[in-house]
Amino acid sequence: MEELVEYFKEKYSDTDIRAVRSPLRICPLGAHSDHQGGRVTGMTLNASVDMVYSPTEDGYVRVESMDFPDKELFHINHESEYIPGFWGNYIRGAVMSLQQDYVLKKGLNAIVSGKLPIGGLSSSAAVTTAYLMALCDVNDIEVSKLDLIQYSHWVETKFIGLKNGILDQSANILSMDNQLMVMDCKTNKYDMVQKGKEMPEFEVVVVYSGISKDLISTDFNNRVDEIRVAGWLLQDLGNLDRTSLQGVQLRDIPVEVYEEYKEELPERFRKRAAHFFTEQARVQEGEKVWAEGDIETFGRLMFESGESSFYQYESGIPEMKSIYYILRECKGVYGARPSGAGYRGAVIGLIDPAYKEEIKAKIDEIYPVRHPEYKDSYAVNFCKTADGANIVKDLVVD
């Protein structure tokens, strides 16, 4: 953050300098179920998207990224369009999201930077939260955390065009250090579950595959449609009230109906439904063992979630599978699963810190040989958990 402040001071003569820290997130359990109204888990890391900013009286938004080329410049009263693949879409969407309910009078001068390779840890949700919090701050707008989640979700679904749920935003905004966030995506109710007293020290390994791409260019939206079709078919088989395809959520299908009719589903849709219902069971058990401090069982559930994501939801790519199976064989890894929806980004795991060097050495030995095209771009990082997004109160600017 200090380097970002110094760079900001070189660029602008502003004296009212502020900052927001918006952490990257992991989802240990509950993958691919938020858009189905399911229950999900999340926690944030001490790796974050950081932004230094100041208010502008002229209403212009000027944003520079330390991680991407080009600069973003527009006036808050100008309706900005979505540009495929452009990092500036998120600040554009943030402005439009807030303008649904508020009149924005002040813009931003801002410089933003991330600490880990982009992809797989929901940097998009993190940066959107940073923009929203900064815009609210300079315009003296007070919003609740749940409202902030909804504004951020609007950006990704309505402006960007993803068919995702609220997992990423919820984890990013609500998480607290050493606690497991458990969010009910149907009711928006959540619990913060303190880790059990007997839980040993752990860290999070983040193995970046070297692959970064927009989810909108993957099969992500197709998988969402397939799981909706599975729900539609179960509605028919179980003589339930029929909804539109866009309105289907497996969370509304009783488990008893699924168990009775699952074998009648075509294979593709049977797999998608199987992932959802087994993942929901893993979330329920995971919440219990986390509170008990049983990291071994929690880790086993993460491994099971990874298998289900690859072979039931079928969202994996070869590079992600390679990392996952390397981690499965590493001593000191409690559990691991793909992040980034399985199409790009990273594989995450909970590990015993005593084995960090061995884990990294094993990955360095195998992954670049198996996937030489990514030998210069993959990365192994170790993180700890942290609090959710916040305005930095003790910013040093002198």
Q: Which residues are catalytic, by number?
A: 168
Rounded distance between C-alpha atoms, residue 329 and residue 359, angstroms:
9
| Closest to 159 (Cα-Cα) out of 119, 128, 114 | 128
Strand-pair category, 39-56 with 179-184: antiparallel
Other beta carbons within 10 angstroms of residue 320's beta carbon come to: 28
> What are the structure tokens assigned to 381, written together?
């990082």
CA 76 to chain centre: 27
Cα angle 311, 313, 316 (rounded to 5 degrees) comes to: 65
Q: What is the DSSP string of 267-313?
A: HHHHHHHHHHHHHHHHHHHHHHHHHHT-HHHHHHHHHHHHHHHHHTS
CA 39-42-46 angle, to 5 degrees, is 175
Give CA–CA dist 362/292, Å, rounded. 31
What the block records as the tokens of 143 is 């919003």
- Reduced to 3 states (helix: H, G, I; strand: E, B; else coil), residue 38 is coil
Is 313 in contact with 271 (CB distance < 8 Å)? yes
Residues in the chain, total: 398
